[in-house]
Amino acid sequence: MNLIVICSDYPIVKENAESSLLGFQLDSIKNSFKKITLLPTDRVKKENVISGLEHEIIFDFRSFRIRSITNFFKYFNILNNDLKSLKMSNFYFSSLRRSISVYAKSIFMFTYLENYLKKSGSKIENTAIYSFWFNDSSLGALLLKKKFPELKIFCGAHGYDLFEDRHIGKRIPFRELSISLVDKVIVCSNEGITYLSEKYPRFKNKFRLVNSGIRKKKIRVKSSTDGIFRILTLSRTHPVKRISYLLRTLKKIESFSDFEIQYYHIGGDHVHGETGLQDLKDLSKKLDFKRFEINFLGQISDDDLNNFFKTSSIDVFLNISSSEGTCLSLVEAMSYSIPIVVTAVGGNITIGNVSNTCLNVNFSPDELYEYLKNIHNNQEYREKLQSNSYNYWFSNHNSDILSIEINNIFQLICKQT
């Protein structure tokens, strides 16, 4: 069977969740499909593609097709049904524009895929489509399934593409239609499974948990021995990650802490108007830390990141996001046996409950400091959290085990009748 994989920019390494998780998934299934074709929806240049990549890549997706206009009106009832579900609210017009935009993008994807399958001579019954994100592009593929029911289509679901409260009007356009058409939704957290099952109970058999695989490390990161407490965050600079909230919290902690802190953030600017790294540096300078040291290392390569873990002491890894799926950088830190403290949101909840280190989303400086102080002062507690991190990774995200599981799941979905 042939597999078409819809992604955003996977063939380019950008140190994000897609490059890490999708790369692992493709490596796990590469021997189970006759041909795997990558369809990146972002503009991808051949010269920037990962060297040695063995899969075919589609580069002409953005080329316009006149038939898209015909299809826009041919399937207009789909858009009309979604618009009927809109309720008048403060977000009505924003939601209206969003639905029209999603529909237009999905029609473009639908038209492209239909044309691609026809030109390539691919047989529908021998083709499956996997959309890494459960987003606008996946709807386009699912409209194709509406025309060819025998086509196998499954989608991944992570954070922004899963939780509707992160969208305008707290809704994702065409979500129920998409779920009704898809063969399986592969979800990366227990919280995501629960969320979808409760919101769409009649489709709960379509939701399947598949953890992300993180490779075993040869070392375990050691705690600091010089009396300085070291904190690490690793993420993009989107406001949902709340790095600015952490900086303000650390400034307040500085006034009463019994020990010095060095804070490191790894991750750089992103897209779509997100808070940039320079903004965070400016905020740090404005806060004028006296006793704490703030370090922004920017976006670094996997090799540099691994070297950082090998040569640095890290006492705690923080994830204080306001919304989260399963944070791969968090699991990566746990594979190095680093203690973690997280906000009780999304996929963080299961992880935080293992070590009993969950914070309320709007935590106070005192609440965070209590965890930091206990880790700093209590060796037995610190070693317990280190063991908890490693054991959680081993039991739930060991790539050696998950590689086999992912391959079996993908094959099962494609063979279902």
Task: Indicate yes or no: pTM above 0.85.
Answer: no
pLDDT band, very low/low/confident/very high, at 64 (cuts 50, 70, 90): confident
* Stretch(es) of the chain classified as CATH 3.40.50.2000: 2-213+399-415, 229-396
Distances 22 to 67, 102, 174 between C-alpha atoms, Å:
31, 23, 25
CB 317 within 8 A of CB 286: no
Residues near 191 by Cβ (< 8 Å), separated by ≥ 6?
Answer: 346, 347, 349, 350
According to the model, what pLDDT value does residue 313 have?
95
Q: Is a pLDDT exceeding 80 seen at residue 283?
A: yes
Percent of the chain with pLDDT over 90: 66
Q: Is a pLDDT exceeding 50 seen at residue 18?
A: yes
156: which strand partners? 186
Question: Residue type at 255?
Answer: S
The Cβ of residue 361 has, within 10 Å, a number of other Cβ atoms equal to: 13
Mean pLDDT of all residues in the chain?
Answer: 91
Across residues 142-159, what is the average pLDDT? 92
According to the model, what pLDDT value does residue 256 have?
97
Q: Is a pLDDT exceeding 60 seen at residue 23?
A: yes
Backbone phi and psi for residue 218, each to the nearest 5 degrees, phi listed first: -80, -15
Query: If DSSP codes are grouped into helix, strand and coil, which group holds residue 297?
Result: strand
According to the model, what pLDDT value does residue 293 have?
97
The answer regarding whether domain 2-213+399-415 maps to CATH 3.40.50.300 reads no
Give the sign of the dihedral formed by CA 45, CA 47, CA 50, CA 54: positive
Residues 195 and 198: their CA atoms lie apart, in Å, by: 5
According to the model, what pLDDT value does residue 269 have?
65
Across residues 115-136, what is the average pLDDT? 91
Across residues 100-118, what is the average pLDDT? 94
pLDDT band, very low/low/confident/very high, at 391 (cuts 50, 70, 90): very high
Q: Is a pLDDT exceeding 60 seen at residue 155?
A: yes
Q: Is a pLDDT exceeding 50 seen at residue 397?
A: yes
Enumerate the H helices of 262-327 as residue ranges. 277-287, 302-311
pLDDT greater at residue 182 or residue 328: 182
Distances 349 to 91, 342, 353 between C-alpha atoms, Å:
30, 8, 6
According to the model, what pLDDT value does residue 218 have?
86
Residues 180 and 374: their CA atoms lie apart, in Å, by: 48
Q: Is a pLDDT exceeding 90 seen at residue 91?
A: no
pLDDT band, very low/low/confident/very high, at 271 (cuts 50, 70, 90): very low
DSSP secondary structure, 66-128, as one string: THHHHHHHHTHHHHHHHHHT---STTHHHHHHHHHHHHHHHHHHHHHHHHHHHHHT--GGGEE
Pick the CATH number of 229-396 from 3.40.50.410, 3.20.20.370, 3.40.50.2000, 3.40.109.10: 3.40.50.2000
Q: Is a pLDDT exceeding 80 seen at residue 272?
A: no
Which tokens sit at 370?
A: 């209590």
